[in-house]
Chains A and B, each alone.
Chain A
Amino acid sequence: MKELIEKQKFTGLSAAEVEEINAEISHYEDKSAVSIEALKIVQKYRGWVSDECLIAAAELLDMSPAQLEGVATFYNLIYRQPVGKTVIHYCNSVTCWMLGAEKVRQRLCEHLHVELGEMSDDGAYTVLPIVCLGACDHAPVVMVGKELCLDVIENTVSEILGR
Chain B
Amino acid sequence: MATIEIDGKHYEAQDGQSLLAVCLSFGLNLPYFCWHPAMGSVGACRQCAVLQYQNPEDKRGRLVMACMTPVADAMRISIEAVPASQFRRENIELLMINHPHDCPVCEEGGECHLQDMTEMSGHTFRRYRGQKRTHANQYLGPFINHEMNRCIACYRCVRFYDDYAGGNDLQVFGMHNNVYFGRFEEGALENEFSGNLVEVCPTGVFTDRTFSAHYARKWDLQTAPSVCIHCGLGCNTAPGERYGQLRRIINRYNGEVNGYFLCDRGRFGYGFVNSPERIREPLLDGRSEITPQAAVNYLDNLCQTAKGVIGIGSPRASLEANFALRTLVGEENFFLGLNDIEHTLLSTIFNILRNCGIHTPSLREIEQADAVLIMGEDVTHTAPRLALSLRQSARNATFDLARSLKIAPWQDAAVRELKTQIKTPIFIASVCATRLDDIATDTFHGSPEDIARLGFAIAHRLDDQAPAPELMSDAENSLATAIAAELKQAKCPLIVSGTSCASIAVIQSAYNIAKALPSKDKQLTFTVPECNSLGLAIMGGGRLRQAFERINEGVADSVIVLENDLYRRAHSQTVDLFLQSAAHVVVMDSLRNKTAEQSELLLPTATFAESEGTLVNNEGRAQRYFPVYAVSEPVRGSWQWLTSAMEDSEWRHHDDLTAACAQAFPDLAAIAQVAPGAAYRFKGSKIPRQPERYSGRAAMFANINVREPAPPQDLETPFSFSMEGVTAQVPPALLPVIRAPGWNSNQAVNQFEEGVEGHLRGGDPGMRLIEASGNLAWFNDIPSAFKAEEGQWRIMPLPHIFGSEELSLHSAPIAERRPAPKILLNPLDAQALGVVNGDRLEISRSMETAIATLPVQIETTLPRGLLGVPAILPENQQINNPERVTLKKVAAEAENKPEIFL
Contact = CB atoms under 8 A, between A and B. Distances in A.
* Direct A–B contact in the complex, CB atoms closer than 8 angstroms: yes
B159 to A, nearest CB: 13
The residue among A63, A67, A73 with the most chain B CB atoms within 10 A of its own CB is A73
Contacts of B173: 69-70, 73
B168 A73 contact: no
B419 A70 contact: no
A104 to B, nearest CB: 24
The residue among B170, B171, B419 with the most chain A CB atoms within 10 A of its own CB is B171
B170 A73 contact: no
Given A29-B419, A30-B419, A64-B184, A69 B171 contact: yes
A93 to B, nearest CB: 16
Given A29-B419, A30-B419, A66 B184 contact: yes
Contacts of A74: 174-175
A65 interface: yes
Nearest to A80: B173
Contacts of A70: 171-173
Interface string A126-138: 0000000000000
Nearest to A72: B173
B168 A66 contact: yes
B168 A64 contact: yes
B621 to A, nearest CB: 37
Nearest to B175: A74
Interface of B is mostly: loop
B667 interface: no
Nearest to B170: A66
B169 A66 contact: yes
Contacts of A64: 168-169, 171, 184
A65 B168 CA distance: 9
Given A70-B171, A73-B173, A73-B175, A65 B419 contact: no
Interface in B151-210: 168-175, 183-184
A66 B168 CA distance: 7
B174 A73 contact: yes
B184 A65 contact: yes
A66 B169 CA distance: 6
Contacts of A69: 171, 173, 184
Interface string A45-78: 0000000000000000001111101100110000
B625 to A, nearest CB: 38
A70 B181 CA distance: 9
A66 B173 CA distance: 8
Interface of A is mostly: loop
Interface in B413-460: 419
Contacts of B183: 66
A67 B174 contact: no
Contacts of B169: 64, 66
B257 to A, nearest CB: 31
Contacts of A66: 168-171, 183-184
Interface residues of B, number: 11
Contacts of A63: 168
Interface string A14-27: 00000000000000
A30 B172 CA distance: 21
Interface in B80-126: none
A52 B419 CA distance: 30
B157 to A, nearest CB: 13
A87 B627 CA distance: 67
Contacts of A30: 419
Interface in A74-120: 74
A73 B172 CA distance: 9
Nearest to A73: B173
Nearest to B173: A73
Nearest to A75: B175
A69 B168 CA distance: 11
A67 B168 contact: yes
A67 B419 contact: no
Contacts of B172: 70
Nearest to B158: A70
A64 B172 CA distance: 13
A73 B184 CA distance: 11
A135 to B, nearest CB: 25
Nearest to B182: A66
A66 B157 CA distance: 14
A67 B161 CA distance: 12
A107 B809 CA distance: 65
B171 A67 contact: yes
A32 to B, nearest CB: 10
Interface string B794-812: 0000000000000000000
A148 B184 CA distance: 35
Contacts of A73: 173-175
A30 B418 CA distance: 13
A31 B734 CA distance: 50
A29 B172 CA distance: 24
A65 B183 CA distance: 9
Contacts of B419: 29-30
A136 to B, nearest CB: 23
Contacts of B174: 73-74
B711 to A, nearest CB: 49
A29 B169 CA distance: 24
Nearest to A30: B419
A69 B185 CA distance: 10
A28 B183 CA distance: 27
A65 B185 CA distance: 9
The residue among A63, A65, A70, A73 with the most chain B CB atoms within 10 A of its own CB is A70
Contacts of B175: 73-74
Interface in B338-386: none
A111 B173 CA distance: 34
Nearest to B421: A29
Contacts of A65: 184
Contacts of B184: 64-66, 69
Nearest to A70: B171
A140 to B, nearest CB: 24
A46 B169 CA distance: 26
A29 B171 CA distance: 23
Nearest to B181: A70
Interface string B398-423: 00000000000000000000010000
A30 B419 CA distance: 9
The residue among B168, B169, B174 with the most chain A CB atoms within 10 A of its own CB is B168
Nearest to B172: A70
A118 to B, nearest CB: 20
A74 B175 CA distance: 5
A89 to B, nearest CB: 18
A63 B169 CA distance: 10
B513 to A, nearest CB: 31
A66 B175 CA distance: 15
A69 B182 CA distance: 11
A30 B169 CA distance: 20
A106 to B, nearest CB: 25
A40 to B, nearest CB: 18
A146 to B, nearest CB: 25
Nearest to A33: B419
A29 B184 CA distance: 26
A64 B184 CA distance: 9
A67 B172 CA distance: 8
Contacts of A29: 419
A16 to B, nearest CB: 26
A73 B171 CA distance: 11
A150 B288 CA distance: 92
Enumerate the 3 nearest inter-chain pairs by beta-carbon distance, A residue then B residue, closest first. Answer: A64-B168, A70-B171, A66-B184
Given A64-B184, A65-B184, 16 more contacts: A29-B419, A63-B168, A64-B169, A66-B169, A66-B170, A66-B171, A66-B183, A67-B168, A67-B171, A69-B173, A69-B184, A70-B171, A73-B173, A73-B175, A74-B174, A74-B175
10 contacts: A30-B419, A64-B169, A64-B171, A66-B169, A66-B170, A66-B183, A66-B184, A67-B171, A70-B172, A73-B175
Interface of A: 29-30, 63-67, 69-70, 73-74
